[in-house]
Structure 1
Amino acid sequence: MAAATPPTRTNRIRSVTIEGFRSLKNIRNLELPPLTVLIGANGAGKSTLIRFFELLSWMLKAKNLQEFVLRHGGGDDQFFMGARKTPRIHAELCLDTEKGQNDYRFDLAHISAGDSVMVMNEAYRYSAHDIPTKAKWTEIDAVGKESSLLDQTHKTAKTIVNLLRQCSTYHFHDTSINAAIHNRWDVTDSFRLRSDGGNLAAVLLDLRKTDGKRYELIVKQINRVLPTFKDFVLEEEAGKVLLRWVGRQSDKVFGSHLTSDGSLRLFCLLTLLNLPPDRLPDVMFFDEPELGLHPHAITLVAEMFKRLSKKRQIFIATQSPYLVDCFELENIIVANANNGETLLRNLPREQYQEWLDDEYQLSDIWLKQAVGGME
């Protein structure tokens, strides 16, 4: 009998150090599991970690750091308590690939003129898994308003850029009348689901044409949660498609404007989480994905997060006890606020196993203040 093929190591972010970014004053060597669930009350700062990785994605995607800063309140707002109190942001990331560890570090300084930021002290290195000592840093001498890592030709720099630029945050919150999901969409924009779900109809139409079994699975899963749902009605007209569906009780076709917010978010989540891995980024962030979902839907989505985390790295920010209880201690990072500073920490099993042995749920531990939950 042939030996089993070992699972392929997923490229992922192993740990991060962040000093001075917004409320993240001093986060050192925070371990990030393949499936990370950030829990915390309103204002605890759990979403700030996601914003940091959004900054990285903008910075390394097409040298759009200044655009990110402009869209998010200006340069001064990116520094803990402002640039006068915190003159510099420092960050270090450890990225795991199949053969080794890729490290990247950089600083950001505030520029008063134009309320922008400057990138400096960039460096990178690669250390093989089978070599115990760390490699020396390769320092980038350039200083400027955008990252110079993109200009490096070394394989390590390219590996780091390729992983971090793919960090994608999915917000399916906007289901207002002007939301993109209500628009007719170009059928050719169908390979990846956009972060706001705007091209959902195009993605579903493509799956129905090219991967019928996957499409049927999505429809079946939606029906498990919404028994009145029968199928999508996806008709191409002049190269565009509109999101519509039909129920089981009648042949009336419902447009997205007649669909509840929770149902639209469910359509987006189940479609995204069922896409083939090659149509997904390596690192995926979800900010409160439970909004508007029925408990049965939350359970289904949580199981799909677990399955997908074997192939892609998943980050979830939530304050839902129901969602938290779907995961394990090793998945949890707790966010607490202390005098404007966000504290993030893992939950060691040896410290909290006794609570679980006494039949407490993860959410009970959090809510009862054992790890600093709600008041």
Structure 2
Amino acid sequence: MFQDLSIQEWLERREKGMTMIDVRSPSEYADATIPGSLNIPLFNDEERAEIGTIYTRVSVEAAKERGLEIVSAKLPAFIRQFADIEGPKTVFCWRGGMRSKTTATLLSLMDIHVCRLAGGYRNYRKWVVSTLESLEFKPKALVIHGDTGNGKTNILRNLQAKGYPVIDLEGMAGHRGSAFGQIGLRAHNQRMFDALLLEELLRLKQADYVMLEAESKRIGKICVPDFILSKKDQGYHVKLELPLEVRVQNIIKDYEPGKHPQECKEAFQRIRSKIHVPIAADIATYLEQEQYEQAVELLLLHYYDKRYAYSEQYYGDGDFITIAAETMEEAEQQVEQLLQKLYPRE
């Protein structure tokens, strides 16, 4: 048979290399899951919908019978996927119910032993919410500011790759935080964002400091927890300044507007009314003609830079450590030098 694991038991075993396997349908998995888990669905989306219809319109027994028929037809391939995964494994479904129980039982009969997460994803989600509400996160924040296009996110990710403690809020949100922020990305919902954020907070809770970008309360459709915003307000504040032409090229490289022309036009329409009419008309023309550098430059000068200047007033001129550079590489080097001065590495 199989063993049910509480959240605490799962956390302890996960540290030793346990693989988490989500047996829910692909769409459920894509919506939100436990970070790092694999998806081996007992039923695909169509099969799940069919069984659900039978359950509500016919009977529970009829739904079980149809489910058994579906599983039986693909059992060898289903079992093989688990057999190919080395080491200890834990399965979960929505609430630790029939799908994970069926999976664990079938695997046990084939001498493949797995554990099951008690309460499933729903229980995990409750743990994430309660932990975020009660978490004492002590590291001081070093917050990166700067006009749109200054490469803040890329610099942070480069430093993260070097081992510096970074909380990539935009990466967790799957959104860049502006009207154009979802272009080319797959935005996460609040459940997935919270799970990814908690993973990072627990990993970095013993750090002396963490770096993050100066985000607002909302990034796309997700909300940043208040304690993160408070941590940001109380931290060191670094302002990056790069030439306008560098910022334009950074945006072109990151957003790749030539691959997403319609999305760019639609995003612009959401903010068009906030831009002076003649300038807005020029931007629309440039977008239509796919002259993206000209469009981006006007958007920066007549929309985004004004918005940043307004938000910057909150901090006051004396609260910033300013880093002026000609290139992103130079800016990254200066940020790294500042970090080594504030927090010398042994």
Higher relative contact order (CA 8 A, sep 6+): 1
What range is the shorter-chain TM-score in? under 0.3
TM-score, structure 2 as length reference = 0.25
More strand by share: 1
More helix by share: 2
In terms of Rg, which structure is larger?
Answer: 2
